[in-house]
Structures are given as C-alpha cells and as structure tokens.
Chains A and B, each alone.
Chain A
Amino acid sequence: MRQMHLRFAISALLLLTVVLGACAAPAAPADDGGAAMADEGEAMEGRPLPDDAAEEQVIRYVTRDLSRLNPASESGFGRPWISHMWMPFFLRDRNHDLHPWLATDWEVNDDNSVYTIHINPDATWSDGSPVVAQEAIDFWSWALSPSCISCWTYLRLGVVEGAQAVIDGEADTISGLTAIDDKTLQITLAEPSPTFMASMAHYNTGFVKMEDVNADEFAADANTRVNGPFKIKVWDLDEREYEIVQNPGWWGDKKPYIERIVAQWSNDENITYIMWQDGEADIAHWFTNIREPLRAESPELFVLIPYATNFYFALHTSKPPLDDINVRRALLHAVDWDLAISAAYEGSRDERVMKTHITPELPCFVADNWPDFGYDPELAKQELAASKYGGPEDLPKIRISSGGQSPNYLRTAEIMAEQWKNVLGITDVEIRPGWGDAWGQEADLVNVQRNSWGATIPDPAAMITGLWKYYTDPDHVALVDDELDAMMAELPTLDPNSAEYCEKVSAAEKRLLGHYYFLPMIWDLYEYVVQPYIKNFDANVDNNWSTLLDIYVAER
C-alpha cells in the first residue's frame, strides 16, 4: 500500500516535470503566420506604390472592442472598413459630401419622394457574379424584419414606403423598393426625408448576398462574398483573430495599396499604449487617459472623426430636488465650468466647454444661445435660497451617475460636487462611476446622469427635436412645455436652405436650454491616433476610413 502511494507521488511529479519542460521549451517564432500571408496580395494586379512606400502594406490597428461583421447590425467597431467590404451606394468624405461608390449616380423626383439609384454596371461580387438591384431589396427586407437580430438598418430605411410593415413582421418585402432592371433601383419614400441620401451612404445600407446569410444572428466569415475592395481573411470573435485582406476580384478601377488590416482587441489602455510605444500598433482608437499627454507631445498624430457630440449631465426634472428649476439653476451657476473642464480634461478641451447643444461643427450654431450660462456663485446662492427647499439643509440627496468609468467624467463629477459644497453648502452628493458603462446607476435612484447626444451632420433640427422627444419622455427627464412642443413640431417641415430655418432652430434651442435640465461638459471629439508613416488617412462622420483606397504605409 505504502509503495503504491509513493509510486503515485512519483508519477505525478514526473508528469508535472514533463509538462513544465514542454512549456518552457523554445517555441516556434510567433510571427511566422505574417510572413506567409504577405505573399497573398502580390497575386493581384496592383496599383504602383508611391515612392516612399514600405515593402509591407499592412495596417496593425488596435481598438477597444470588435464585434461580428454584418452590415445590418454594424454599429460599433467594424465601421472603419465595413463600407469597403459591403459597399453602400455612396460614400461620404470628411466634409459629408457624397461620392459614387457601389452606385454611379442617382435622381430624385420633384417632390423628393422617389429616388432612382444607378448601380455601377461593373459591380460584381467576389465570386464574379454581378451585383443586382434585387439583392439589395432581398437583404434589406431581411434586415428590417424582426428575425434579423440586433439589426439597425430600419433606422435608415424606415422612411421607405412599406418599410413599417416589414419592421412589424406583417410583410416579407419592402413594397417601396423596385428593381427597374438589374442595375437600377427605385425607392419610394413614405414621406420626404432630408437625410435620405445620407442613409444611402450609410454602412447599415450595405448588403450581403442573401444566400450567404445563414443565421438570424448572421456574422460574416471568410466565405461571405463581398462587393468591395476588402474581404475577410479571418474574423473569429472566439479566437479573437481579426484580419481583412484585399479582395483580389474587386471590380473597381482604383485598387487599394493596403494589402491587409490586422485588427487587435485591447480593453486595457495601458497595454494599448505599450504596444503603441513599442511600434506594434499603426492606428489606435480609444485612448482616454493617455490621450492628452500624448497630444501635448505630438499633436500631429491625432485625426479627428467628424462627429458632432455633446457630453453633459442630464438633470432629472421630475425627481427631487431637481424638480425645482431654481435648484437646477443654482447647481449650474455654482460651478466654474471653464476651470472645472480645464482640470477634468487636463487643459485639452478649454475651447470646447459645452455652452449649447448645437456644436460649432453644425449649421445654425450660435455661441451664446444660453445667455444665462456662466459661473456666478452669488446668483447660485440666491437661486438655491429661492427654491422650495430653501437651502442646502433639506435638499434631498443628489446621486450622480458618471455612466462609464472615464476619468474625465469622474473628475468632472467630483469637481462639481466639491464646488456645490463650497459655494452652496450641499454635502449630500453621491457619485457612481459604474462598471463598464452602466453599472451602479441604481436605475431609478439616480437623478443626475451623464449622457451624450450625437447629431447627424448637417441636421441641427433633427438633433434638437430628438433631444426634445427624449427629454419629454416621463421615463427620462419629463420636461413639459406646450409652446416648445409646437416650435419643435414645426422644425422638420422647414427647408434647411430657407432663411428662417436657422432662426427657428436657434429659437427652439434657446427655449430648450432655458429648461436647465443639464449640466454641461464638452462638445467632444473622437479621434484616431495614427503613426506618421501611415499616409492619406482620413475618416468620415460614419467613422469609415473613407480614404482607405489611398492609404499606404510609408517607410519609417
């Protein structure tokens, strides 16, 4: 018996030694996969590279997350290149101008209700078959239907006649879509929409051949046919391997320089930054903490994504103590926003303290549309005293959710709380940073919640009316203002080119700001950090790398 124990023990140790030995054994060089792949692009008839181009045209991209590729469900991290795989009809540039992409041109009838799109006659799928109008109809009809899981195309095509029936599951195809012939698509809208052509350039309106759509939660893989210049080599969310390569059969005249894009997932900013410093990343997205020090060192690395976004803390006007506008005004006026934002954003956003909803990038921007905005401690004290709570003593608790752990949000919240304490004597304030982006919000208890609002450039009216619709919802902030209702109702009917348009948008914005339902942070910027040897890089408002065909890697 005793010997058996010993034998057991010895064999166990032996096994461990073997495993460890194997583990420590010199392994094959990790990068052999890369060398083998570099050949792949050469098979393709290339476009002559610029003189300063590097031998290997590979982009190593690092981002915070990556998800399945499917034009109907895309909304996050595949956007840089998805429009170069399943091409929408048009592509926007940095200035939001449309350029021919899968389609060559388009016409619209006089009352802006019927659009005719001409698909490029050369357009083919990667298997050589032609791209035809009916394929768009088929894919869109599926993408709008309830069976397409987590799909957003209906946000773009909801205005098409018959779209609602498909969204509700009552029809199988969108009746407003007609294939006049293989290369001509006619689209009839239920009502005119000023942003419809922007939708035709939106990545969510790219389409996949329906034969390739194999599941309701469809995720494209290497076998999925594309009609753009790039295709998937591997896109494995389980193995976390993401790589796209040139589509050798692309039909376009202008072949891309870039042979492949290797995407890497990094949720840890420190690691991303170490990779950046070590030269293992060519383009990085989502630097937050390190962003400003890095910018101070080398501002030329930053490329702006032309979004128009507000960051602010929304005040829930139906929850005490924010149900009293005097409290809201007091909270606003007690904080020195310029100083607070300068500290919270380390001086990087001094010029972008949010003073209105409409950002400087949007038409109808009026810098001082919020006349009462500003730091005024004396006024703040009077306002708090004038409120129904009479002062800080009986003020119910203020619970701030930073809605995310970004140190910028947290710092802003902490600075606000400290200044309320110093100026107004309010001490009963709680801050929840939240795990990820929403933990610890305590749903119904929070009365100050960080929020953001994005705008589709160039449509300030949609931004303002959207805000109004959201903040009148009793579940959100529950604003009430009949007159403003009427003003907001009028905005969508206006012609954006008319003289009164901006006047009325500004008037509505001014009245909206007068409700004091938020505390400002910034008009934020989204950026890529791009190594200087990546040339011609640019992005559009949809966060596509809109110049991808011209991007190349120069010699370092």
Chain B
Amino acid sequence: MFVYTLKRLAVAVPTFFAVLLITFTLTVVSPFDPVEMMMTQFEGTLDTLAKEEVIEKIRDQYGLNDTYWVQFTRWIGRLLQGDLGISINGQRNVLRMIVKTFPISFQLGLAGAVVTTILGIPLGCIAALKQNTWIDYTIVGGTLGFRTVPVFVLAPLLLVLFVLVLDIMRVPRGWDGLFQTKVILPVFILALGPLPVVVRQTRAAVLEVFSMDYVRTAKMKGLEMWRIIIRHILRNALIPVVTTLGFVAEGLIVGSIFLDSIFAIPGFGGVAEAGFRGFDYPVIMGVTMVSAVMIILTNLIVDLVYPFLDPRIKIE
C-alpha cells in the first residue's frame, strides 16, 4: 500500500503540471484582458479616454504584453520560489489570499460533509426500511426537492423566511469561526447539495444488504432489526460517507461560489469566482493549483480507504 501511495504521488506531479499548463493556456490565450475587466468596475468614475492609457500602463506593470512563453516561464519560476504573484484585480498577494480563505472553506466544506452524512445515512436507512411507502417518498422527494432549487433562489427564500417573516435571526454575514450560529444556514445549504446522493446510496446499500443471504439468516435467527442494521449495514453505509469526502473537495470550490457571495463569507469559492470572472490569471492559477492538489489527494485517500470498507475492491 505504501508503494502504491508513492506511485500515485509520483504520477500526480506531471498531472499537476499538465493542469497548470492547460489552465494557463486557456486563460492567456482567451480574448479577454484582465486589466480591461478590472477597469469595468470603475465605470462612471474614470472617463473612458483615461482608461485606455491606464490599461496600457497596467498591462506593462504585470508583464501582460510579453509573449505566452515568457509569461508562463516567469510564472513557473516564481512558483518555484513560492511566489504566486499579485492579483490584477485588487492588487493582493495571491498566496496570502489562498492561505487566508482556504481554511475557512475547508471547515465549511467539512462541516457540510458531516451534516450531509449525519442527515443522509439515517434518512437513507429509514427510506430503505420503508421502501415504497410515503415515508420513503417524502425522504427521497424532499431531499431532492431542495436540490432542484438553485442556490441563488433557495438562499434568499430561506433568508426571507428566517429574517423577515419569522424574525429569528439577522442576515448571517461573514465568518467568525466554525462554531457560530451564523454558520448554520450556509452549512445547511452546502449540505443539501450532496444530500440526495448520500440518501440514495445509503438506501441502495441497505436494500442490497437486506437481500443478502446472511442478513436473511440473521433475521431468521431472530436478531433484532437494529442489530442487523448496525452489524451488517454500517460498513456498507460508510461507503457513501467516503464518497462525500470527494464532495468536500468539489463542494469547497463550486458549492461555495454562490454561498460565499450570498453570505459574504471570505472563502475560497469567492476568490475562485472573482479570479475566473476577471480573467485574473495569477488568481486563476493559484486557485487551480490548490484545487488540483485537493482533488488529487482526495481521490488518493478515497481509493486508499475503499478497500477497508469494501473487501471486494482491491488495490492493484
């Protein structure tokens, strides 16, 4: 297993650089100019004539007038020195942006995965036990129902309900650490994303186990239902848990794009969104780097953990 891990890590390096190269190319080759993007936010404040001058000057400051290879090698060179550059929009140190925002999103993503798991596994079990009854339908339909409403519709709806109608909270804004009431709503919304998947997987796993001979035997032996569930289903149920681990990585970035913006959370998703939105290549590259590492690592962990849970899967 150790050798396997080493091997996987070894191939991860070229993968990683391929990701960087592709992203860099897409960003630099695209017909959009990050400086012009930045200037649009000053609409109405600088007259357009001045804009032209300013754009040229800033392009020079960032070396954007250089050729593609000069830019790429310069970027890689700086990367090897641990310098991710300065964002074009906002002129901030990219490394610092990532270091500051990543832990926040990581905690949120993890909390989301935990909530998903804790809600999803029992719900999935119940749905399976009550297969094809209204309880099953309500659980499956309800979890799905939340998923089918886009986050940017769902979040304002929930806020109107809690803030304006019920008046039990203020609009949760920003980040004061994970153990704050204001985190509940974002985490809940984040957890809703993968929830139907976990419910389904658990439900399917439970149904599958029910059909196994040893469970039938156990049942015939008169073991109580909950014992059967705990004994035989728990391990199977952990597979969806591990699957949600993958969602931590993906949800960190994509899931939090809308949430960061809605709840003003200083998270990684917001950095990613602003970077991509503005074609701010130092930011895009930084974000891509981190997410590549995250996803490569998560995949590795998931692959390493699966065999423990499902003996049928073997590590080659």
Contacts and interface: CB of A to CB of B under 8 A. Distances in A.
Is there a direct interface between A and B, measured as CB atoms under 8 Å apart in the complex? yes
Interface of A: 5-6, 8-10, 12-13, 16-17, 19-20, 22-28, 30, 65, 67-68, 73, 75-76, 79, 146, 149-150, 152, 155, 217, 219, 237-241, 264-268, 270-271, 274-275, 277-278, 280, 307, 309, 403-404, 435-439, 441-444, 451-456, 462-463, 466, 469-470, 473, 524, 526, 543
B218 interface: no
A435 B46 contact: no
Contact of A9 (B52, B86, B238): B238
B164 A436 contact: no
Contacts of B97: 238
Contact of A451 (B48, B90, B174): B48
Contact of B49 (A264, A452, A466): A466
Contacts of A9: 234-235, 238, 309
A268 B183 contact: no
15 contacts: A6-B235, A10-B234, A12-B238, A16-B114, A23-B111, A76-B45, A79-B45, A146-B60, A152-B50, A270-B159, A271-B262, A403-B40, A404-B43, A436-B40, A466-B48
Contacts of B42: 75-76
Contacts of A466: 47-49
B45 A437 contact: no
Nearest to A442: B31
Contacts of A473: 52
B97 to A, nearest CB: 6
Interface residues of B, number: 73
A28 B111 contact: no
Nearest to B41: A76
B21 interface: no
A274 B163 contact: yes
A453 B43 CA distance: 8
Interface in B85-123: 86, 90-93, 96-97, 100-101, 110-111, 114-115, 117-118
Contact of A463 (B36, B47, B90, B174): B47
A9 B108 CA distance: 23
A238 B118 contact: no
B67 interface: no
Contacts of B115: 20, 23
A503 B181 CA distance: 65
A16 B241 CA distance: 10
A280 B277 contact: no
Contacts of B308: 5, 8
B243 interface: no
Nearest to A543: B45
A435 B163 contact: no
Candidate in A271, A456, A473 with the most chain B CB atoms within 10 angstroms = A271
B261 interface: yes
A487 B112 CA distance: 65
Contacts of A219: 91-92
B152 interface: yes
A185 B45 CA distance: 28
A444 B31 contact: yes
Contacts of B262: 268, 271
A438 B235 contact: no
Contacts of A455: 47
Interface string B28-59: 00011000111011111111111011100110
A23 B178 contact: yes
A274 B47 contact: no
A470 B47 CA distance: 10
Contacts of A68: 90-92
B294 to A, nearest CB: 19
A73 B50 CA distance: 14
B145 interface: no
A268 B261 contact: yes
B146 interface: no
Contacts of B183: 23
Contacts of B160: 274
B91 A470 contact: no
A150 B42 CA distance: 12
A67 B90 contact: yes
B40 A404 contact: yes
Contacts of B246: none
Interface string B190-232: 0000000000000000000000000000000000000000000
A456 B47 contact: yes
Given A23-B114, A456-B47, 6 more contacts: A155-B46, A278-B164, A438-B36, A438-B40, A443-B31, A451-B48
Contact of A436 (B45, B117, B278): B278
A241 B174 contact: yes
B301 interface: no
